[in-house]
Amino acid sequence: MKPFFIISLCSALLFGLAPNLNAKIKSKNKSNDFVVAIVNGTAITESGVKVFYTTLPPQYKKIPYQQIRDKLIQRIIEQTLIAEAAIKSKLHEDKLIKKRIAIAERSVLNEGYLSKIVKRELSDAKVREAYQKSIALQPKQTEVRASHILVKSKSEAARIISLLRNGEDFVKLAREKSIGPSGKNGGDLGFFGKDQMVPPFSKAAFALEKGQFTTEPVKTQFGFHIIKVVDRRTAGRENYDQALSKIRNKLLDKIFDKSISALRAKAKIELISGASKIQPIH
């Protein structure tokens, strides 16, 4: 059996089989659903197979449903047989198994409840409105692409500046002299905005034109820098497609916080004194 089909009993019950374990042959099927297999009188439906498909790891959900459907049916048949055998052996009465099933059930209910709220509150219109109010209004900004050589002392930085003035290669010196992590890459830091670096470094870098390097060591809390600007550009704001994922995630966080705050406000929650003491798990 392939690894991604090996699912714990409680997960199998809740994710793969919960809609089907009590579905009997005589059940009336909805027009968009139908029975695909019957195992000891338990019907497995097409909708149950599709639900099982949604629980697969992301790499397997890249496979089109129809290509993997027959294998999923066989796995659910196997899970049904295993679940029945487990119940016959009264495994479902085991204390630890009960706890695991309860945890899995709570997780499914959490996901279902929040999905319902998200479907209601996170519309495409609200995402686009958030984009228009925030990212779409952001001004364009100048960014520089810089490389640097970081050393411990001012005197050592001054010596390297002298070498650069005499025509030494910046990338070569960065690889040989820099104690910063970017040294192995020739000191390249990529593009960055003014607020992405510590103030002394940023001020020195943005004062340079393309191709120039600092003629005096730049001191920060990390040491002394020699900075060279490799390129400059005006960075445009993200378009809607580029910002979509970031906006959705922010709105999802707000929806979750709002929902849980509302539930907490209505709930009676009591933390038991002394319960933080670690107890053995039985």
Other CB atoms within a 10 A radius of the CB of residue 154 amount to 13
Percent of the chain with pLDDT over 90: 72
pLDDT at 271: 86
pLDDT at 149: 98
Q: How far, CA to CA in Å, does 254 sit from each of 122, 235, 259?
A: 10, 28, 8
pLDDT at 15: 38
CA 159 to centroid of chain Cα atoms? 45
Give the CB-side neighbour count of residue 191, counting CA atoms within 13 A: 9
Q: Across all residues in the chain, what is the average pLDDT?
A: 86
When pLDDT is averaged across residues 121-134 and rounded to a whole number, the result is 89
Q: What's the CA gap between 32 and 45, in Å, rounded?
A: 10
The top-scoring range by mean pLDDT among 14-28, 126-140, 205-219 is 205-219
Residue 219 has phi, psi (to 5 degrees) of -90, 130
pLDDT at 4: 37
When pLDDT is averaged across residues 241-249 and rounded to a whole number, the result is 89
pLDDT at 158 over 70: yes
pLDDT at 18 over 90: no
pLDDT at 268 over 50: yes
Kindly state the tokens that stand for 99: 């706890």
pLDDT at 75: 96
Question: Between 3.50.50.60, 3.10.50.40, 3.30.230.10, 3.30.200.20, what CATH number should domain 141-235 receive?
Answer: 3.10.50.40
The top-scoring range by mean pLDDT among 7-11, 147-151, 248-252 is 147-151
pLDDT at 242: 82
Going by C-beta distance under 8 Å and a sequence separation of 6 or more, which residues neighbour residue 78?
1
Q: What's the CA gap between 20 and 18, in Å, rounded?
A: 5
When pLDDT is averaged across residues 55-74 and rounded to a whole number, the result is 94
Determine which of 5-14, 45-54, 189-198, 247-256 has the lowest per-residue pLDDT on average. Answer: 5-14
Give the residue with greater pLDDT, 102 vs 242: 102
When pLDDT is averaged across residues 224-245 and rounded to a whole number, the result is 88
Annotated domain spans of the chain:
3-121, 141-235
